[in-house]
Amino acid sequence: MTYFLALLAIVGWGAAYFAWTRREQYVIAPMQDEVPVDIAPDNSATLDVLNSLRLGVVIVAANGEEIFRNVAATEVTGMRHADVLVDEVVERLIRAASVGNAGSEQIELAGPPQRVLDVRVTPLAEGGSIATIDDITERWKLDQIRTDFVANVSHELKTPVGAISVLAETIEGETEDELVLRLVRRMIMESQRMGRTIDDLLELSRIEMGGEMLLAPIDLNDVAQEAIERAQPIASRQGVSIHFESKTDQRTINGDYFQLVSAVSNLVDNAVKYSNAGGEVLVTTSSNNDDVEISVQDKGIGIPMASLERIFERFYRVDRARSRGTGGTGLGLAIVRHVVTNHGGEVNVRSREGEGSTFLLRFPRISVPK
């Protein structure tokens, strides 16, 4: 009997303790669920400010519940899958922040278009945490351009100098006439290459300054014809035919004839160089209400998508090994871009590897009294 009573007492005490702990949880639980209003943006002015930011902002309460997300954080990338992946990182960092650990992570998304995002989460003193999502794609690209430029410029300028130096050293101790002749020819080639690079750099520098422009009404057909004439010898050597088509008689722009010919020549040259034997290059002039356009289209090897954004950078090479064979300096398209910018126009490119490229230059049209 005593044993039974003792057992009953223990069970009763256990039940009471259990109920008491449940009661504690019951009391505490709503407090945990309660949204800490002091960290939630609660007036329209604050909301407007947060929503006008380009920086994504997510605020999370101590219980892990998301209490605010600004517009920039709602559609971070414009790509559904990328937003899902960004959310995953934000959630992971917020979990770490809930135990007091601030954290950050850089997300590189393949796209296309390629995007780089910087996610940072900081625990808040009042509980909860704040996450920021910063699109650093442009900064990241600029960093890449700067790093590559230093490497590319030193390659383009130092390679011929190094080659000439080595060739000269070899000639110094060489007595065989045939070999000396071959080495000298090679030296001439390398020095010509360096000369072309310097010429292009000077031309680019002149065009960049924009101060020496001799503006006059220019018929884009004249520009196209001269550019085609210049490229004709190399086109004949490569077995590439160049065709010209004018789709408009409203093709006058205010521009510098020599700069324009230089730009279009660069495009026609490239189109010929990167076409296969028997290929065709089509140069077209056309117009719409406000603009005159000149396009250069080829059906050659095309440009990889990853390089399309970068081909107008100085010394950028899609394929360094292949480019050396074409004799280009790596500055042609940089010149094109600057010429077009100086004329208040824009340049666009469409290309597919193996299918060809189309470069389109668009300039503001001027009306010429008849």
Partner 1 sequence: MDELRKGFHHELDVARKDLARLAAAVIEAIPRATTILLNGDLDGANALISDDDRIDALSVDLEERCYQLLALQAPVAGDLRQLVAIVKMVGDIERSADLTVNICKAARRVYGHDLDPRLRGLITRMSEQAQQLFSAALESFEENDASKAAAIDDMDSFLDGLQREFMRTIMEENSGSHIDLQVAIQMAMVARFYERIGDHAVNIGERVQYVVTGWLPEHKGAARYKQGIPRPNDDTGAIPIVLEDN
- Interacting residues with partner 1 (CB under 8 A): 79-82, 84-85, 88, 109-112, 299, 301-302, 304-306, 350, 352-356, 358
Compute CA 241 distance to the chain's CA centroid, rounded to the nearest angstrom.
33
Phi, psi of 40 (to 5 degrees): -90, 130
Of 6 and 305, nearer to partner 1 (C-beta) is 305
CB of 304 to partner 1, least distance (A): 7
Residues 73, 133 contacting (CB under 8 angstroms)? yes
User: Rounded to the nearest whole angstrom, what is the least distance from the CB of residue 352 to partner 1 in the complex?
Assistant: 5
Sequence length of the chain is: 370
Closest to partner 1 by CB, 79 vs 130, is 79
Q: Which amino acid is at 361?
A: L
CB of 356 to partner 1, least distance (A): 7
For residue 117, count other CB atoms closer than 10 A to its CB.
22
Query: Which residues make beta-bridge pairs with 277?
Result: none
Residue 33: phi, psi to the nearest 5?
Answer: -75, -20
- Rounded to a whole number of angstroms, the minimum distance from the CB of residue 88 to partner 1 is 5
Nearer to partner 1, 186 or 324 (CB): 324
Task: Tokens for 220, please give them.
Answer: 């884009």
Least distance in Å: CB of 303 to partner 1? 9
Backbone angles phi, psi at 12, to 5 degrees: -60, -45
302 versus 345: smaller Cβ distance to partner 1: 302
98 versus 232: smaller Cβ distance to partner 1:
98
Q: What is the DSSP string of 267-294?
A: HHHHHHHTSPTT-EEEEEEEE-SSEEEE
Backbone angle region of 162, left / alpha / beta, with phi > 0 → left and psi within -120 to 50 → alpha = alpha
Residue pair 56/73 in contact by the 8 Å Cβ criterion: yes
Non-local (6+) Cβ contacts of 193 within 8 A are: 160, 327, 329
Give 201 or 271: the residue with its C-beta nearer to partner 1. Answer: 271
179 vs 306 by CB, closer to partner 1: 306
- Return the number of the residue (230 or 350) whose C-beta is nearest partner 1: 350
- Single out the residue of 317, 319, 354, 355 nearest to residue 334, CA to CA: 317
Least gap, CB of 113 to partner 1 (angstroms): 10
Q: Crossing angle for the helix pair 332-342 and 177-209, nearest 10 degrees?
A: 20
CB of 305 to partner 1, least distance (A): 6
Q: What is the Cα 306 distance to its own chain's centre?
A: 8
Q: How far is the CB of 357 from partner 1 (least distance, A)?
A: 11
Q: How far is the CB of 32 from partner 1 (least distance, A)?
A: 16
Residue 21, exposed/middle/buried by CB under 10 A (0-12, 13-18, 19+)?
Answer: exposed
Which structure tokens are listed for 44?
A: 């329209």
Nearer to partner 1, 300 or 345 (CB): 300
